[in-house]
Chains A and B, each alone.
Chain A
Amino acid sequence: MKLFNLHKQAAIAACFAFALTNLAKAQSDTTKSPETETTAEDEDFSMYDEVGFADKGAKRYCSPKIEGLSPAKLISLGFDFQGPYKLNLDAFNNNINEGWAENNKHTITSGARFACNIPVISKTSVVWQMGANYWESGYQMMKQGPLAVGYVENPMLKSLYTNGLRTMGINTTLFKPLSDKKFLLFQGSADMSGDYNWKLMPARYMKYSAALIYGKRPSERKQWGVGLARTYRAGELNYIPIIFFNHTDAANKWGSEVLFPARAHVRRTINSRNMLFAGYELEGQSYRLYRMESIRNQDLEIRRAEIRLRAVYEFSLKDFIWMSVQAGYRINYRYDVDRLTNGKEIYRAFGLLSDEPYIMQNTLTNPFYFNVSVNLVSP
C-alpha cells in the first residue's frame, strides 16, 4: 500500500512538473509575442548572409513574374461597349448574289466578356494554367433612314443585327524556367468564333493560335523575350515574330507591360492596389458566318481586327477583388470577308505569299469605347 502511495505521489509530482514546465514555456513564448509583426530590433541578421542549400543538388529557378507587375486575373467578368459608329458594307463580289452594299448604318456594338485562368500545376520548376473565355459582340442599329420599296437587307448585315458575333474558347499557358535567369513561355488556344447561338458550330471551324517565347529575366524588375506566334489577332491567319518585355523602375512607380504586336502599355503604379495604364491592344478574330442558310455554304468568314488606344485604371475593390475600367478609341483595322473555298485557310503573309482578294471589303468609322470588368486576381 505504501509502495502504491509512493508511486501515486511520484506520478502526481511528475504531472505537476510537466504542467509547470509547459506553463513556463508558454510564458516565455508569450514574451516573443507572435502577434508582433516584426522582430527586427532583437536579432542580428548578418548570420543569414552566408548560407548554402541543405540539399546540395537544389537549383534556383526564375519566377514567371517580376516586381510591380499588374496582378494576373484568375476570373474576369466584364462588359464592353463601342459606338456609335457608321458601318458600311461593301457588296459581295465573286458571284455571291445574296450580298449587296449597305451604307451608313449607325451602329453600336456591346457585349459581355468572361475569362478564367486556373493554375493546374504551379511549382517552382513549371507553371501550367488552363483557361476559358467567352466574348460576345451584339450589334444594334441606332437609326434607320427611309428604305427603298422592296428593300431586302444584306444577309450579313441581318445576321450581325440579329445574331451578333461570339467567341468561345479554351487556352493553356505553360511557363518553364530553364535556370534562374532563362525561361520558355508557351501559350495555345482553340477558339470557336462566329454568328452561332447556343447551338454551336461544327468543331472543324475552330481556330488554333499558339505562341512560343524564349526569355530572360536578368533582374527582379525586368524580363524580356522573343518568339513566334500563329495568330488571328489581325483578323486573318498570320505567323509573326513577337517581343515580350516587362519592366518596373527602381521606385516602382513606372513600368511597361509589352507583348508586341498584340499589346503594349506603360504602367504608372500609384500603390500596389492602384495602377494606371496607357497603351494599345490589337484585338481580332476570324468569324464564321454560319447562321444564315442563304450564305452558310459559301464558307464566309469576317476577318475582324481593331486597335484599341486606351487608358486603363485597375484597382482593388476589396482584397483580391479588383476592378478594371478602360476607355479609349477603337480604330478599325480590318472588317473584311474572305471566302475559304472548301474550308481551306488563306495565308497571305501580308501579301507576300498570296494576293487573293477579299470577297467583301468593309469600312467602319472609329468610335470611342469603354470596358469595365470585375476580376479575382491571383496570389
Chain B
Amino acid sequence: MKKILFIAFAAFFGTILSSFVNQDAAGDRLIGVWEPSNGRARVKVEKIGAKYYGKIVWLKEAVDPVTKQPKTDKNNPDPNLQNAPLKGYRMLKDFVYAGKDEWTEGTIYDPLNGSTYSCTIKMTDKNSLEIRGYIGVSALGRTDIWKRLEVKKK
C-alpha cells in the first residue's frame, strides 16, 4: 500500500515538475537576437533567474556623430547613467512568461527620449514578436514588430 502511495506521490510530483520544465521551455523561446522594425538596433534577449532581459548588442549608428565616441545613454533622466554605453544597455527588463506566447510585467526603455514604458511581448510566430510599449493602460501605446535574427558564425 505504501509503495502504491509512493508511486502516486512520485507521479504527481513528476507531473508538476515537468509542467514547470515545459513552462520554462516555452518561455525560453524568447531567448535570441531580435531586430526592431526600424532596423536601428539589435537586441539580445537572455534569461536571468526566472526573468527575461534584452540588451542592445548592435547599433546602426554606433558612434556619436558629434563626439566621435561610442554612443552613450545621453538622454537618460538619471545623470549617473548618461555616460553608460548604449551597446550592452538593458532596454528590456523583468519579463516573466505568462503562458499563451506572452511575456508580461516588463518594461522597455527608449534611448531616444530616455523614457521607460510598461511593456508586453507576444510571440506571433517563432520568428516574430509584437512588442507593445504603453503608458498606464495598453490602449495608450504603440506596437512594434521585432524579427528574430540568425547570427552568422565567424
Do A and B originate from a single complex?
yes
| Contact of A202 with B by CB under 8 A | no
The answer to whether A37 touches B84, judged by C-beta atoms less than 8 angstroms apart, is yes
Among A4, A34, A49, A251, point to the contact of B66 (Cβ < 8 A). Answer: A251
Q: Are B144 and A39 in contact (CB under 8 A)?
A: no
A residues 1-58 near B (Cβ < 8 Å) are: 3-4, 7-8, 11, 18, 26, 29-30, 32, 34, 36-41, 43, 45, 47-55, 58
**Is A201 positioned at the interface, with any CB of B under 8 Å from its CB?**
no
Interface check A124, CB cutoff 8 A: yes
The answer to whether A54 and B58 have CB atoms under 8 Å apart is no
> CB of B99 within 8 A of chain A?
no
Would you call B145 and A379 a contact (CB within 8 A)? no
CA distance A114 to B70 in the complex (A): 42
When A34-B93, A53-B148, A271-B75 are in contact, do A376 and B2 touch as well, CB less than 8 Å? no
Within the complex, the shortest CB–CB distance from B122 to chain A, in Å, comes to: 12
Q: How far is the CA of A68 from the CA of B135 in the complex (A)?
A: 20
How many residues on chain A are close to B (CB under 8 Å)?
Answer: 55
Q: Give the interface centre of A8, A48, A220 by most chain B CB atoms within 10 Å.
A: A48
Is B30 positioned at the interface, with any CB of A under 8 Å from its CB? Answer: no
Give 1 or 0 for each of B136-154: 1 = CB within 8 Å of chain A CB: 0001111111011111101
Among A4, A7, A41, the residue within 8 A (CB) of B88 is A41
- Residues 244-258 of A, flagged 1 when their CB comes within 8 A of B and 0 if not, give 000000110000000
B115 touches A320 (CB 8 A): yes
Residue among B37, B134, B150 with the highest chain A CB neighbour number at 10 A: B37
Name which of B139, B140, B145 has the most chain A CB atoms within 10 A of its CB.
Answer: B140
Which residues of A are found within 8 Å of B58, using beta-carbon distances?
45, 48-49, 51
A273 to B42, CA, bound (A): 25
> B143 contacts which of A39, A122, A273, A376 (Cβ < 8 Å)?
A122
Q: Distance in Å from the Cβ of A43 to the closest Cβ of chain B?
A: 6
Consensus secondary structure, chain B interface: strand
Nearest opposing residue in chain B for A11, CB measure: B10
* Residues of chain B with a CB closer than 8 A to A4's CB: 2-3, 6
Min distance, Cβ A45 to any Cβ of chain B, angstroms: 5
Q: Which residues of B contact A272 (CB under 8 A)?
A: 75, 112-114
Indicate if A227 sits at the interface (CB-CB under 8 A). Answer: no
CB neighbours of A37 from chain B (8 A): 73, 81, 84, 89-90
Shortest distance in angstroms between B7's beta carbon and chain A's nearest beta carbon? 9
Cβ contact within 8 Å between A378 and B2:
no
When the two chains form their complex, are residues A29 and B48 in contact, meaning their CB atoms are under 8 A apart? yes
Residues of B in contact with A, size category: 35 or more
Contact status of A40 and B88, CB under 8 A, knowing A51-B149, A272-B113: yes
A-B contact count (CB 8 A): 156
Q: Nearest Cβ distance between residue A82 and chain B, in whole angstroms? A: 32
Q: Which of A275-320 contact B (CB under 8 A)?
A: 319-320
- The CA-CA distance from A341 to B35 in the complex, in Å, is 58
Q: State A133–B36 Cα separation when bound (angstroms).
A: 32
Residues of B within 8 A of A71 (CB): 113
Q: Are B65 and A251 in contact (CB under 8 A)?
A: yes
Within 8 A of A (CB), among B68-110: 73, 75, 77, 81, 84-85, 87-90, 93-94, 110
Q: Shortest beta-carbon distance, B138 to chain A, in Å? A: 11
**Contact (A34, B53) CB under 8 Å given A48-B151, A53-B148, A54-B127:** yes
Report yes or no: A54 in contact with B149, Cβ–Cβ below 8 A: yes
A312 to B3, CA, bound (A): 80
Smallest Cβ-Cβ distance to A125: which chain B residue: B145
In Å, the complex CA distance between A379 and B40 comes to 17
A-B contact pairs, 17 of them (CB 8 A): A8-B6, A18-B17, A34-B51, A34-B53, A38-B89, A40-B84, A52-B150, A55-B127, A119-B142, A122-B141, A124-B144, A220-B61, A250-B66, A272-B113, A273-B77, A319-B115, A320-B135
Which 10 A-B pairs rank lowest in CB-CB distance, beginning with the nearest? A40-B88, A124-B37, A124-B145, A250-B65, A55-B127, A54-B148, A40-B85, A272-B75, A48-B58, A51-B149
Residues of B bordering A, CB below 8 Å:
2-3, 6, 10, 17, 33, 35, 37-40, 42, 44, 48-49, 51, 53, 55, 57-58, 60-61, 65-66, 73, 75, 77, 81, 84-85, 87-90, 93-94, 110, 112-115, 117, 125-128, 130, 132-135, 139-145, 147-152, 154
Which residues of A line the B interface, CB within 8 A? 3-4, 7-8, 11, 18, 26, 29-30, 32, 34, 36-41, 43, 45, 47-55, 58, 60-63, 67-68, 71, 74, 118-119, 122-125, 180, 220, 250-251, 271-273, 319-320, 376, 378-379
Given contacts A11-B6, A34-B51, A43-B88, could you give 12 more A-B pairs where the C-beta distance is less than 8 Å?
A3-B3, A40-B84, A40-B88, A43-B57, A50-B151, A51-B149, A52-B150, A54-B150, A55-B148, A123-B144, A220-B38, A272-B113
